[in-house]
Amino acid sequence: MEPNSTPASPPAAESENRESGGGELRFETMSGVPIRAAYGPEDVTGDAEAKIGEPGRYPFTRGPYESMYRGRNWTMRQFAGFGTVEETNERFHYLLDHGQTGLSTAFDMPTLMGYDSDHPRSLGEVGREGVAVDTLDDMERLFQGIPLGEVSTSMTINAPAAILLAFYVLVGERQGVSPERLSGTIQTDILKEYIAQKEWCFPVEPAMRLVTDMIEYSTREMPRWHPVSISGYHIREAGATAAQELAFTLKDGFTYVERAIERGLDVDSFAPRLSFFFNAHIDFFEEIAKYRAARRIWARELRETYGAERPESMRLRFHTQTAGVSLTAQQPLNNIVRTALEALAGVLGGTQSLHTNSFDEALALPTEEAVRVALRTQQIISHETGVTNTPDPLGGSYFVEALTDELEAEAYRYFDRIDELGGMVEAIRKNYPQREIAESAFEFQRKLDSGEFTIVGVNRYQSEEEEVPLLHIDPALETKQVERLAATRAVRDSAAVESSLAELKRAAGTDQNLMYPILDAAREQVTVGEMVATLQEVFGTYTETPVF
Amino acid sequence: MVAAAAHKIRVVVAKPGLDGHDRGAKIIARALRDAGMEVIYTGLHQTPEEIVETAIQEDADAIGVSILSGAHMTLVPKISELLAEQGVDDVLLTVGGTIPTRDIEALKEMGVTGVFTPGAPTGEIVEFIRTRVNRREL
């Protein structure tokens, strides 16, 4: 948009109140839940003591741990990845040197889609939105100088997650760190890819089999690893409301639990290692209520429906990222304020790990300065504000409890609709969540265009734009990565490559756990693209029918 | 109702490359459709060749390309070149997404008529396409 373009709905006379577009003043959450003038004891219905509970105790509404941040701070985990593995490795070291406490890896689009850097479809995409990883050697260079036994790593990868996990395990092996000592999270949440993020390699069923293989593998071999991070973040970014984010994410989570139980795993053996990833959007109280409702629903369903007995299985733990979509390209410094408030909601909602977005991210990937301010934002919340002194400081607020109940009820209404459609996999096939999200996204845009919802600097309070320095990705890195891939291909044992791919293909046709043949192939420097293409020969590919 | 336009404006909304962020593309597709245009949404992960092919087959008046991945300086010129190669000079090419200011001029030099970055109201995009297509037809 050009700077100073005409606002959609210019308020003629400014009052201190926020005007709605059509005249009548409306008070509602971002998702449209009406807000009453005041809340009181009558708004906390039912057995308040039982449903609110205590921090660290079932139903965990008030937090997964008794002492929360008094006992242990959240992990400050800034998402990073761009350009070559060397550049990203440098950013990792930079963040660790500035007090970040965990790593989080962003892979580029070709890696997310299972294409090698030299695939024709990768042209122009290599290293753009994340780092390019084609082989085990790339992965080793990515974590150069980082002791995997000490740092926990999160990897945002889904469709080819099993392959990247294998690479990580083998980098650990090269460092002398066994799989049982590796800690971290790999996203692996394929259902939300079909719903929202749209990076897929295979049809839904074989993709679900790979997820279950990974849950089974890490239950056996990697006790400190989180094999699935059930992610609402992207569902929200695609346009879902808070209630839709809550409902679709939890339902995805239940679906993974069901698959693992069907595989013969005991729910208490794997459920403690499932974790969540939520968005922190700008509607402060609605977000806090969302996290509280999520914990309560997860606890109840794990115990009542899936028969979990260990409290660890019922205890929902989550990573939070502030809302990328709430950032504006206009007046980018305002994004520091938005991010701080969103991060505060995540903290008051009891997050275990947090990524704060950088102020320049509506324009490009973040510069070092922008990412440092984002990290400092977390440190200020943690060390200066005092909000960490007591768990769930807003628990018992009439308003927060009422909103928590409201979101919980709305989530169950969605569960019922999804069950009527035959469960989440069927609902996705029928485009149900996709359509609901597109609908909400459009409705939000309508409110924005009409001025019913205000975004400062975009549809109100516009001002002359000032340029901020942006990170520039050198297009030459694509060539460099392609050359490196060719060099790796040239020196590997081609007979071993062929036979490991043949074995992978054979195993894909059986019900064997695919993690083991993937590990064997990874060891031979077989690329992500080669493994995915081989699996596609057995599994096929996925094409969506878009709805809007 | 305006009775002037005998011809319904046809727009191909396209997502080139591997980027799966389709929120904006779908909102624009719907806004254009609600404004009375014929919208053909290609879906995700299209190659420049596929997009140009669709535009020709559908006899489109405009192409709206949505890119958030940073690949716009590779993919858009390719679309522009392919249109020229095919002798298509009557299709408006517009781009939306995360486009740094410094790339906007370069894109315009490549024959892109409009570039819309985050925050652009849908009404502005609808009007842009409507006036440009109608002006071209006079």
CA A189 to chain centre: 9
Is it the case that residue A194 has pLDDT exceeding 50? yes
Banded pLDDT at A101 (limits 50, 70, 90): confident
What's the average model confidence in pLDDT over A319-332? 95
The overall pTM is greater than 0.90 = yes
User: Which residues fall within 8 angstroms of residue A446, CB to CB, at 6 or more apart?
Assistant: A452
Inter-chain residue contact A458 with B119, CB threshold 8 Å: yes
Which residue reads 């069950």 in tokens? A419
Q: Please, are residues A255 and A248 in contact by the beta-carbon 8 Å criterion?
A: no
Give residue-wise pLDDT tens across range A27-69: 999 988 999 999 999 999 899 999 999 999 999 999 999 999 9
Alpha-carbon span A166 to A48, nearest angstrom = 46
**Looking at residues A399-409, what average pLDDT do you find?**
97
Q: What is the pLDDT of residue A26?
A: 80
* More confident call, A168 vs A475: A168
Given a cut of 70, whether residue B20 has pLDDT beyond it is yes
pLDDT of residue A506: 98
Q: Where residue A219 falls among pLDDT bands split at 50, 70, 90?
A: very high
Confidence of residue A9 (pLDDT cuts 50, 70, 90): very low
Size of interface A-B (CB pairs under 8 A): 117
For B47-101, what is each residue's pLDDT tens digit?
A: 999 999 999 999 999 999 999 888 899 999 999 999 999 999 999 999 999 888 8
Single out the residue of B132, B66, B17, B26 nearest to residue A129, CA to CA. Answer: B17
Cα Rg of chain A, angstroms: 23
Q: How confident is the model at residue A374 (pLDDT cuts 50, 70, 90)?
A: very high
Q: What residues contact residue A342 under an 8 Å CB cut-off, 6+ apart?
A: A280, A281, A282, A287, A322, A323, A326, A356
What are the pLDDT digits (tens) for A438-457? 999 999 999 999 999 999 99
Which two tokens mark A370?
């922008």
A215-227 residues labelled b (16+ CB within 10 A) or e (exposed): bbbbbeebeebbb
**Of B19, B31, B117, which has the smallest distance from its Cβ to A1's Cβ?**
B117
- pLDDT tens-digit profile of B108-133? 999 999 999 988 999 999 999 999 99
Query: Any idea which of A82-86, A390-394, B54-58 has the lowest mean pLDDT?
Result: A82-86
Name the percent of chain A lying above pLDDT 70: 96
- Mean pLDDT confidence for A219-223: 97
| Cβ separation A441–B23 shorter than 8 A | yes
Confidence of residue A131 (pLDDT cuts 50, 70, 90): very high
- Model confidence band, residue A12 (pLDDT cutoffs 50, 70, 90): very low
In a 10 Å sphere around its CB, with 0-12 CB exposed, 13-18 middle and 19+ buried, how is residue A124 labelled?
buried
pLDDT band at residue B138 using 50, 70 and 90 as cut-offs: low
Give the closest of A110, A239, A363 to B98, CB-based: A363
| pLDDT at residue A364, as a whole number | 84
Per the omega criterion (within 30 degrees of 0), is the bond before A546 cis? no
Mean pLDDT of A272-292: 98
The mean of the pLDDT values for chain A is 93
- What lies within 8 Å, CB to CB, of A92 at 6+ separation is A80, A103, A142, A143, A146
Instruction: Dump pLDDT digits (tens) for A489-507.
Output: 999 999 999 999 999 999 9
Largest CA distance in chain A: 76
Query: Chain B: residue nearest A471 by CA?
Result: B100
Residue A8 scores a pLDDT above 60:
no
Neighbour count for residue A282 (Cβ, 10 Å):
18
Contact B27 A442 (CB under 8 A): yes
Average pLDDT over residues A226-251: 98
Find out whether B111 and B93 touch, Cβ atoms under 8 Å: yes
Average pLDDT for residues A395-422, to the nearest whole number?
98
Chain A's closest residue to B74, CA to CA, is A124
Higher pLDDT, A377 or A81: A377
pLDDT for the residue B6: 59
Task: Judge whether residue A471 has pLDDT over 90.
Answer: no
Residues A331-339, mean pLDDT to the nearest whole number: 97
Mean of the pLDDT values across residues A305-318?
Answer: 98
Q: What residues of chain B have any CB closer than 8 angstroms to a CB in chain A?
A: 17-23, 25-27, 29-31, 41, 43-45, 47, 69-71, 73-75, 98, 100-102, 116-124
SS (H, E, C) A229-240: EEECHHHHHCCC
Contact present, A443 and A205 (Cβ < 8 Å): no
DSSP bridge partners of A354: A76, A320
Contacting residues of A for B41, CB less than 8 Å apart: 546, 548
> Tokens standing for A112?
């997310």
Given a cut of 80, is residue A70 above it in pLDDT?
yes
pLDDT band at A285 (very low <50, low <70, confident <90, very high): very high
Nearest to B116 among A1, A445, A543 (CB): A1
Alpha-helical segments (H) within A83-230: 85-97, 109-113, 136-142, 161-175, 190-192, 204-221
Listed range (A10-14, A73-77, A350-354) with the worst mean pLDDT:
A10-14
Taking residues A473-483, report their average pLDDT.
91
